[in-house]
Structure formats: structure tokens, C-alpha cells
């Protein structure tokens, strides 16, 4: 019944620190004391978020340790991306059933693989014994008053998304099917599973959108739910066209149109950005994201009212009463 | 398998936000978006820590929800106290097996009860389904270069502790005994259990020690282990006198001297401060803490070498091979 600092804590946190070590002169005191000491650069606001992954809820049992390490950081960096913030520091709280050195090494490697290119420093952590559960808190910088929020979408704005939608849900579906050696769709499945396990937070896109988008969110719960959050926070509604939703070749190879549409609308875990843009800035946004190599698709528009409506291929509104997924349904 | 924002998340986080609501103009955007936006005051460094509590590891099953909420914040504020930092903001990651409204209300009340007097604002959170587990990250301010650390203890410095030691370990012991209606020691037991469940982080003492102590740590793992961290970080050893260890009347009422000594040396969860002070500042420190109503006791001194030695009542060194407790023993 004690908080503590076990040997493993030192080893794991130290291992990730080694792997993510990089000079940041804003870290005055890193891992190893009761708290880290950090200096926010002058003229910057701090953007801060926390997210938890629980085994069997946010990733299937059997997920590789390196994938868990990557994803635990990715879902948090995605929150910074949605604010237009640049990542700086992370804290890690890892609860593990046993002191498994192979898990620790794999987790650290996956975490570090994503941290390194973003110059993200791990500045603190806590390791405890218990059911597998990971919380990461991330800190990023943004110029004062320039962050993207969910509020700010205006009637007439275009609604856009980065990348493709529904891949992660299809990846989870693929994991739940028995694997066959002679699977003709093996490459498509692998692509979709990688989209589930190794999401790429849209940080560069988020920064580029800071001066352009009127509202922004990352798609963690599914397009309908997350665009619904923008509508609620902005006091508007949205209409999207099913025919415009960007779907990957792999998704369409493995699923019929109705299933692919369901995944694209309601599947979570894609960690793409959904955002609104005044139409006069549309061309600039599309050019900016193209320069970054980030796919972007206009899928609808902001309207008066509330909630999200989806126009089907035949022009009729689809029934969309299920606006997302609840952990405690 | 999706990250999400369930109804309960909103309700719990919103409930704590309501209960802890207070104007802080350094919170530019609080709960409700992808990240909080925060402004660190000019001329301050940020102190940041994260700690996790797991049911059955850090608190016994059956602990009241309000006590869990209090303690989850207290153990983190204690880390800020040990750095001499003033608390400002917290993030909460709560994993719960079921959406139990009574638990949520109790947890929020306990968390808020400790947050409020410290003007601590909850700025973000994540609620997920899974085995009961709570991670809290706290943020505080400290003047640049003025934080207390574990390094800095010098040979000849006095070693002191706030409050009394061993109470929380005795409280856990009391919880594990069957409760009798005619228990003549009921008040002593209740005191010790409260010390376990409702630790008071020594924030005012930490701030007062900033200009005085050469090194500081909070006692979460037990005196031997935590003073050992100071010795390791400072490159010194420490000698303490068993006879000087401050022990509460309740502890001595329920346990013989040997057990009380064991709890005081190795019991964790007291969340008192252990610190070193150059002897010429000793009188000032004692006066400063007395003004705050914070008990303080000189228990030993910093010496050359490494590790912590304990002198017993007969003047001989006690065998102290067990330097603390490991979660993954």
C-alpha cells in the first residue's frame, strides 16, 4: 500500500529517457527528482492534455509492446495537433502486471520512436504494479491566443478532414478475424492494422492550420462524434456528404460500401484532423497541406442549427442516431 | 477499442471542475477541448509531477471514494511540496470498472476538498473503463533556480523531518485488524487511518524551506528509502538516531517500540518532508516551520560516504539492509 519508486520504475523510465534523450534547454531538471523543472519559452502558451489506454478497451490483448508505447504517445500528440501546438514534454504513468523486461524494452522503443522526430522529452514518470494501463500527459507550445479550438466554426465554413477515415476500425476488425497463410488481402490487412496500432499524429498539419482553420478536433471517437463536438462548441450544425468521405484503397478492398461508410462515420482511432475553414481560405489550406504531403478532403459544410447530418449517395439523409461510442454504455 | 469521451467522463470531470472552480487568470482555456491552454507567469519555472494510485496496491479495496480522490491529489501535491513549488493546475486520468455515480460524486468531493484551499484548478482529464486506477499530474510554480532538489546535501548538514513518522503504516495495519465495538484504542486507530487516507501535503513548509534547505524529498516510500535518495543524489551518507524519530502518541499507544520504530523507518505513505539544512540555518528553519504550525524534528546528520545508518537506543548501528519497498519484488 505504498507509493514507490521500484527498481523497474527507474529502469523503464530511465530506458525511455535514454532513448528519447535530446538537448532541450527548456528542461532545467528532468527525470530523477520529485518533480521536473521546466521553462516555458517567453511568448508561448502551454497546451496540456492527458489520455489513458487500457488493455482490452483501447487496444486488444496481444498488441505488441512497441505498438502500445507508440500509441500511448500518439493519441496524446494528436490532441496537441488538434490545438495547433508544437510538442515539448511528456509525463508517463505506466501500470504493469509484472516486471517483464521484454515488455519494458519494447514499450520504450515504440514510445521513443515517435518521441524522437518530434524532439519530445520525457520529463517524468511513475511505474506501478497492477492491470496494464498507460496514462501519458503531454505539453506543447502555442503562440498566445493562436490555438485552434472546437469553438469558432461559422455557418458557411467548409468542413475538411486529413487523410482517410475508417482505417483503424477496419484494422481492429481485421485483427478479430483468423489469419490465413494464403490471404490474398494480406497487404491491405497489414496496412489497416498499422493504421490502428501506429497512428501518425497530424502535428505539422495542425501547426499549418493555426492561422487558417476556424475550429479543429482530432478524430478519436469517430467522425460523427467528433464533428458533433465542434458543432456543439461552436453552436452550429454540419452537413456532410457520404460520397465525399476519403476512404483508403485497403478499406474498400476488404469491405463493401455500406461497411466502409459505417467505419468512416463511426469508427474511432483514426487520429486524423477534422476542421472547418472559411471558404475564402480553402485554396490556401489545400495548398499548405499539400506542401506537407498531408492529404486533405472537403467533406461538407457548417450550417445553422445543431448536430451532424449525412447525405447518402441517393441524396437522402442517412439515419445517424448513434453519435459515437460510450465507454460506459 | 476506442479512445473516447463518454458521458461519464464529462460528468465526473465536469463535477470536479464545478467543485474546484475558482478564478485563475493563468487558465486561458480549461476543460472541454482537446487540450487546456495555460500561461505560466513571467519569472516562474514550472514544476511537474505525475503519480498513480492502483486499488489493492496503493490503497486497500473498500477505501472510501472521497479518500481516494483526496489521496490521488495529495501524493502529487506532496511532490510539489518537496520541490518548494506552489500548486496551480492538475490533470486527472481516472479508470473505473463501472459508471458508479456515488463513486464519482465521492471521488470528486474528496479531490475538490484538497484542491480548493490550494487554489488548484483541474484543467483536463480522461475517464476510461477498466480496473480502478488513478493518475494525477500536477503543475506548480517556483522562482527560477530556487527549487529544492534531492541533490545539495553537504557533509555536516543536519537532517530533519516534518510531523511524525510511521503513522500511515500503522493506519494500514489497523485497517487489516478486525474492528471491535469496545475497542479502547478506537481514537488512536482512527487517527492513524486518517493519516493513511488523508495525507496533508506539506506545501507551506516546502515553500518556507526553499531558501533554507540544502536538499529535500517527501517520504512516500519510507524514511530509509527516501533519505537514501537524498544521499545518492547528493553523493553523501546520513546517520540518524532511532531515539530522535518523531512518533505520534497514537502510534506508541498501539505498538511496542520495535514495531513503531520499524514503521517509522520503513513505513511509507506518510508524505512528510525529509530535508537537510546547514547547521547555521537550523534555528531559522525551526522558527519558520513553528510559525506555520508545522512540527519539525532534527533526526541526524549528513556524513561522508553513502547510504543511511541508524543508531539504536544502545548506541549500536541497527541492521538496515532493507532500504525500502519494491512494487515488483
Q: Is residue B327 part of a domain?
A: no
DSSP of B58-97:
TB-TT--HHHHHHHHHHHHHHHHHHHTPEEEEEEEEEEES
- CA angle, A269 then A271 then A274, to 5°: 120
Q: Report, as an integer, the average pLDDT of A312-316.
A: 89
Q: Is residue A265 part of a domain?
A: yes
- CA angle, A129 then B131 then A224, to 5°: 125
Looking at the fold, whether B100 and B172 belong to one and the same domain comes out as no
Q: Which three cell numbers stand for residue B258?
A: 520495535
Q: How far apart are the first and last CA of chain B?
A: 32
Q: Is residue A98 part of a domain?
A: yes
How far apart are the CA of A4 and the nearest CA of chain B, in angstroms?
Answer: 5
| CATH code of the domain containing A84 | 3.30.1330.10
A204/A105: higher pLDDT: A204
Which chain B residue shows the shortest CA-CA distance from A127?
B52
Which chain A residue shows the shortest CA-CA distance from B197?
A1
Name which of A314, A223, A322 is nearest A265 in CA terms.
A223
Looking at the fold, whether A92 and A237 belong to one and the same domain comes out as no
Q: What per-residue confidence (pLDDT) applies to B132?
A: 92
Q: Is residue B319 part of a domain?
A: no
Looking at the fold, whether A302 and A276 belong to one and the same domain comes out as yes
Burial class (CB in 10 A: 0-12, 13-18, 19+), B232: middle
Q: Is residue A319 part of a domain?
A: no
pLDDT in tens, B227-282: 999 999 999 999 999 999 999 999 999 999 999 999 999 998 999 999 999 999 99
Do A164 and A251 contact (CB within 8 A), yes or no?
Answer: yes
Looking at the fold, whether B291 and B181 belong to one and the same domain comes out as yes
Q: Report, as an integer, the average pLDDT of A29-58.
A: 93
Q: Report, as an integer, the average pLDDT of B315-320.
A: 86
Q: What per-residue confidence (pLDDT) applies to B325?
A: 36
Q: What per-residue confidence (pLDDT) applies to A222?
A: 95
**Predicted confidence band at A1 (pLDDT cuts at 50, 70, 90)?**
very low
A125 CB within 8 Å of a chain B CB: yes
What are the C-alpha distances in Å from B82 to residues B188, B203, B236? 28, 8, 19
**Which of A33, A60, A272 best probes binding to B when mutated, by most B CB atoms within 10 angstroms?**
A33
DSSP of A136-168:
EEEEEEE-TT----SS---TT-EEEEES-SSHH
pTM of the model: 0.92
Q: Is residue B220 part of a domain?
A: yes
Q: How far apart are the first and last CA of chain A?
A: 32
pLDDT in tens, A56-82: 888 999 999 999 999 999 999 999 999
Q: Does position B1 have pLDDT exceeding 90, yes or no?
A: no
Q: Which of A116, A142, A168 is the last residue of a domain?
A: A142
pLDDT in tens, B41-71: 999 999 999 999 999 888 999 999 999 999 9
Q: What per-residue confidence (pLDDT) applies to A207?
A: 97
Lowest mean pLDDT among A198-212, A312-326, B99-113: A312-326
Residue from the list B5, B128, B144 with its beta carbon closest to the beta carbon of A57: B128
Domain count for chain A, please give it.
2
Looking at the fold, whether A174 and A302 belong to one and the same domain comes out as yes
| Mean pLDDT of all residues belonging to chain B | 91
Predicted ipTM beyond 0.95: no
Share of chain B above pLDDT 70, in %: 94
Neighbouring residues of B184: CB distance < 8 A, sequence distance ≥ 6: none
Looking at the fold, whether B169 and B303 belong to one and the same domain comes out as yes
Q: What per-residue confidence (pLDDT) applies to B10?
A: 57
| Mean pLDDT of all residues belonging to chain A | 91
The owner of cell 450544425 is: A237
What are the C-alpha distances in Å from B203 to residues A3, A200, B84, B121, B206? 18, 40, 7, 16, 5
- What is the DSSP code (8-state) at residue A35? S
Q: Does position B8 have pLDDT exceeding 50, yes or no?
A: yes
A221 CB within 8 Å of a chain B CB: yes
| HEC-encoded secondary structure of A291-324 | HCCCCEEEEEEEECCCEEEEECCCCCECCCCCCC
Domain span holding position A121: 5-142
Looking at the fold, whether A194 and A163 belong to one and the same domain comes out as yes
Residue from the list B33, B93, B147 with its beta carbon closest to the beta carbon of A135: B93
Q: What per-residue confidence (pLDDT) applies to B9?
A: 57
Residues on chain B touching A217 (C-beta within 8 angstroms) = 34
B24 CB within 8 Å of a chain A CB: no
- CA angle, A33 then A38 then A43, to 5°: 175
- CA angle, A68 then A71 then A73, to 5°: 115
Helical (H) or strand (E) element with B191 = helix B186-197
How far apart are the CA of A314 and the nearest CA of chain B, in angstroms?
Answer: 30
pLDDT in tens, A116-150: 999 999 999 888 888 999 999 999 999 999 999 99
Radius of gyration of chain A (CA): 20
Q: Is residue B227 part of a domain?
A: yes
Q: Is residue B306 part of a domain?
A: yes
Do B192 and B170 contact (CB within 8 A), yes or no?
Answer: yes
Do A225 and A270 contact (CB within 8 A), yes or no?
Answer: no
A128 CB within 8 Å of a chain B CB: yes
Q: Does position A325 have pLDDT exceeding 80, yes or no?
A: no
| CATH code of the domain containing B234 | 3.90.650.10
Looking at the fold, whether A169 and A81 belong to one and the same domain comes out as no
Q: Report, as an integer, the average pLDDT of A144-171.
A: 97
B179/A302: higher pLDDT: A302
pLDDT in tens, B195-206: 999 999 999 999
Backbone angles phi, psi at A11, to 5 degrees: -65, -45
**C-alpha–C-alpha distance, residues B269 and B199, integer Å:** 8
Q: For strand A86-96 and strand A121-129, is the pairing parallel, antiparallel, or unpaired? A: parallel
**Dihedral sign for Cα atoms in the order B128, B134, B140, B144:** negative
Residues on chain B touching A127 (C-beta within 8 angstroms) = 327
Chain A, 177-206: which have a CB under 8 Å from a chain B CB? 196
Looking at the fold, whether A218 and A178 belong to one and the same domain comes out as yes
Burial class (CB in 10 A: 0-12, 13-18, 19+), B248: buried
Lowest mean pLDDT among B112-121, B150-159, B173-182: B173-182
Q: Which of B113, B142, B171 is the last residue of a domain?
A: B142
Q: Which three cell numbers stand for residue B225?
A: 528509502
Looking at the fold, whether A172 and A307 belong to one and the same domain comes out as yes
Looking at the fold, whether A203 and A232 belong to one and the same domain comes out as yes
A296-303 sheet: strands from edge to edge? A215-218, A273-277, A158-162, A296-303, A237-241, A307-311
Looking at the fold, whether B113 and B184 belong to one and the same domain comes out as no
Name which of B86, B60, B89, B58 is nearest B72 in CA terms.
B58
What are the C-alpha distances in Å from A179 to residues A57, A183, A185, A189, B5? 22, 7, 10, 10, 32
**C-alpha–C-alpha distance, residues A102 and A115, integer Å:** 20
Q: Which of A115, A142, A169 is the last residue of a domain?
A: A142
pLDDT in tens, A265-307: 999 899 999 999 999 999 999 999 999 999 999 999 999 999 9
Q: What per-residue confidence (pLDDT) applies to B329?
A: 31
pLDDT in tens, B119-147: 999 999 888 888 999 999 999 999 999 99
Q: Report, as an integer, the average pLDDT of A11-21.
A: 75
Query: Under an 8 A CB cutoff, do A57 and B129 touch?
Result: yes
Q: Which three cell numbers stand for residue A31?
A: 527525470
- Strand, helix or coil for residue B124: strand
Which chain A residue shows the shortest CA-CA distance from B175?
A1
Q: Does position B155 have pLDDT exceeding 70, yes or no?
A: yes
Amino acid at each position: 500500500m505504498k507509493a514507490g519508486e521500484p527498481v523497474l520504475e527507474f529502469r523503464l523510465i530511465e530506458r525511455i529517457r535514454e532513448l528519447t534523450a535530446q538537448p532541450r534547454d527548456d528542461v532545467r531538471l528532468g527525470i530523477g527528482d520529485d518533480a521536473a523543472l521546466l521553462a516555458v519559452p517567453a511568448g508561448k502558451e502551454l497546451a496540456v492534455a492527458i489520455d489513458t489506454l487500457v488493455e482490452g478497451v483501447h487496444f486488444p490483448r496481444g498488441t505488441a509492446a512497441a505498438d502500445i508505447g507508440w500509441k500511448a504517445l500518439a493519441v496524446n500528440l494528436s490532441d496537441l495537433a488538434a490545438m495547433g501546438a508544437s510538442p515539448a514534454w511528456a509525463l508517463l504513468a505506466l501500470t504493469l502486471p509484472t516486471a517483464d523486461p521484454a515488455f519494458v524494452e519494447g514499450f520504450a522503443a515504440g514510445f521513443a520512436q515517435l518521441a524522437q522526430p518530434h524532439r519530445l522529452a520525457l520529463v517524468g514518470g511513475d511505474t506501478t504494479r497492477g492491470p496494464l494501463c498507460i496514462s501519458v500527459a503531454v505539453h506543447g507550445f502555442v503562440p498566445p491566443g493562436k490555438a485552434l479550438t472546437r469553438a469558432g466554426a461559422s455557418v458557411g465554413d467548409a468542413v475538411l478532414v486529413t487523410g482517410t477515415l475508417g482505417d483503424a476500425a477496419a484494422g481492429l476488425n481485421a485483427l478479430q478475424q483468423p489469419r490465413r497463410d494464403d490471404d490474398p488481402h494480406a497487404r491491405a490487412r497489414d496496412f489497416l492494422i498499422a493504421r490502428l496500432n501506429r497512428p501518425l499524429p497530424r502535428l505539422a498539419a495542425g501547426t499549418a492550420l493555426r492561422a487558417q482553420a476556424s475550429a479543429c478536433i482530432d478524430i478519436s471517437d469517430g467522425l460523427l462524434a467528433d464533428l458533433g463536438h465542434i458543432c456543439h462548441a461552436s453552436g452550429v450544425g454540419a452537413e456532410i456528404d457520404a460520397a465525399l468521405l476519403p476512404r483508403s484503397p485497403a478499406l474498400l478492398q476488404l469491405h463493401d460500401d455500406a461497411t466502409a461508410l459505417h467505419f468512416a462515420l463511426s469508427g474511432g482511432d483514426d487520429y486524423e484532423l477534422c476542421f472547418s475553414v472559411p471558404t475564402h481560405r480553402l485554396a490556401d489550406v489545400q495548398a499548405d497541406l499539400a506542401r506537407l504531403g498531408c492529404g486533405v478532403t472537403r467533406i461538407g459544410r457548417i450550417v445553422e442549427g445543431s448536430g451532424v447530418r449525412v447525405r447518402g449517395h441517393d441524396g437522402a439523409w442517412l439515419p445517424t442516431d448513434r453519435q459515437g461510442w460510450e465507454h460506459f454504455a
